[in-house]
Amino acid sequence: METGTFVIKSGLAQMLKGGVIMDVTTPEQATIAQEAGACAVMALERVPADIRAAGGVARMADPAIVTAIMKAVSIPVMAKVRIGHVTEARILESLGVDYIDESEVLTPADDRYHINKKDFTVPFVCGARNLGEALRRIAEGACMIRTKGEPGTGNVVEAVRHCRLVLGEIAALRALPEEEVPTFAKDIAAPLELVLETRRLGRLPVVNFAAGGIATPADAAFMMELGCDGIFVGSGIFKSSDPARRARAIVAAVSHYRDYKLLAEVSTGLGEAMPGLDISALSPEQRMQERGC
Amino acid sequence: MAALIGVLALQGAFREHAAALARCQATVREIRTLADLDGLQGLVLPGGESTVMGRLLQEEGLLQPLASLCATGVPVLATCAGMILLAKDLPGFSAQPRLGLMDISVRRNAFGRQKESFTTRLPVREFSHGADDLIESVFIRAPLVTSCGAGVSVLASVNDHPVAVRQDNMLALAFHPELTQDTRFHAWLVRRAQALSR
């Protein structure tokens, strides 16, 4: 009997495809998310919009919050650790969380190195803005990738940019003559072996979700149309005026992302979306996506 | 003529099943709405989150039509969450929308959380032959069968709990053959679909 292998860790992400993973901060929110059809929840102390507003150092959530949420729902529970913070990750693993997000939404604990995720039984998801970042995270043991986007902004533009960049680089890689592949790997600072595997598969070797700024059913369906495997919604649900309804609408939108009549229906009368932020209004230090590349 | 197999594609690992079926020379159609059920000769209920699939099946009005399709005798392969969708009894989650066509009682997340997920090699009656022929079985937050009715045959067990069961045309597995290279369960589905349409 084997546990913690790549097949088992990346396999859970494969089961989450076509689904919506929702940020929650209380057991009540977790229950609302599960009832609405979330395929997993991300247990947090604060959603990204509040982390942004609070400033200071953002860390792993209080284990009491994480365990209360794990007790409240039967779907997988994820939680975030700071980039490079091996001990926060070991703590979450000991709690039994189902997936760890080594996340730029929290303040990085190591400005140079990420966690060696291969050492863990629990699987990890990491953010990436381009193919090089994605493959470096996979080389470290990440079994699921998501776009970074710009968290807590309600602005989808960065998630779109990162998604198009990754898929565009994969398309370019596939078109390269064989002899140019090693130099391509060197240029994007990714291991040749993973570059070759990506070229052979025509996609990332692990599941690839969209995250960072998704606020509406149309945003979610758009990210699926671009080729993402599923969606993380952070602040977008519980910072809106009718979270349960918006959550149900986003779940339906991801499942039926090309059924435009249905998208019109579920988008109707949803109330206020979360307040949005223009990316250009953020100073470079306020941009979470620059963390950990 | 290649058999036309429908894979429920509301959420979960439908792409992996489609690939395995394609290796078995089936024609694959993803099922999202009622219109997609037309003319299907076989059905796959994939792994994913059973709560999500149940909810979307209900919203889409697919529960009854899918149940009727299964009742016509088309072969059904259900893995993990698919097994939960087929379970008549689901203690602790009895209100969860599902097809409930198989005379089995199923416990969700029966082996624990993700860190307890595992791979093992199992003999599976009707599918593996001899002591050396074991089937690679990937269990991810998997369910198991706690009891089954007289019409259900148990094909494989872990710690004496059934993890592969068949009732007539329906085969339910707690594990994920679609995550391995072993296509014999998919081949069974395609063979039965072809035999039925002949």
Judged by CB atoms closer than 8 Å, whether chains meet at A17 and B108 is answered as no
**How far is residue A216's CA from residue A238's CA, in Å, rounded to a whole number?**
12
Residue burial A263-286, b: 16+ Cβ < 10 Å; e: rest:
beebbeebeebbeebebeebeeee
Nearest to A8 among B80, B93, B140 (CB): B140
| Residue A64: CB atoms within 10 Å | 9
Is A148 an annotated catalytic residue? Answer: no
d(CA B151, nearest CA chain A) in Å: 30
Residue burial B114-143, b: 16+ Cβ < 10 Å; e: rest:
bbbbbbeebbbeebbeeeeeebbbbbbbbb
Residue A277 clears pLDDT 90, i.e. is over it: no
d(CA B59, nearest CA chain A) in Å: 9
- The pLDDT tens digits of the residues spanning B175-198 come to 999 999 999 999 999 999 999 876
Judged by CB atoms closer than 8 Å, whether chains meet at B16 and A14 is answered as yes
**How far is residue A16's CA from residue A101's CA, in Å, rounded to a whole number?**
15
Beta bridge partners of B167: B170
Active site residues of B: 80, 176, 178
pLDDT at residue B196 in the model: 87
ipTM: 0.96
- The residue-averaged pLDDT of A19-47 equals 96
- The pLDDT tens digits of the residues spanning B101-146 come to 999 999 999 999 999 999 999 999 999 998 899 999 999 999 999 9
Q: Look over chain B and give the mean of its residue pLDDT values, rounded to a whole number.
A: 97
Q: Look over chain A and give the mean of its residue pLDDT values, rounded to a whole number.
A: 96
Beta bridge partners of A124: A100
Judged by CB atoms closer than 8 Å, whether chains meet at A251 and B52 is answered as yes
Look at the pTM and tell me if it is higher than 0.95.
yes
- The pLDDT tens digits of the residues spanning B39-62 come to 999 999 999 999 999 999 999 999
d(CA B111, nearest CA chain A) in Å: 12
The two structure tokens encoding residue B90? 């689901």
The two structure tokens encoding residue B169? 């045309």
Query: Which phi and psi (to 5°) does residue A59 adopt?
Result: -125, 180
Nearest CA among A292, A277, A12 for reference residue B138: A12
Question: Measured at the alpha carbon of residue B121, what is the angle toward residues B92 and B138, in degrees to the nearest 5?
Answer: 45
- The pLDDT tens digits of the residues spanning A130-171 come to 999 999 999 999 999 999 999 889 999 999 999 999 999 999
Residue B115, C-beta contacts closer than 8 angstroms, at least 6 positions apart: A3, A4, A93, A96, A98, A121, A122
**Residues on chain A touching B16 (C-beta within 8 angstroms):** 14
- Between chain A and chain B, the number of residue pairs with CB atoms below 8 A apart is 114
As a whole number of Å, the CA-based R_g of chain B is: 15
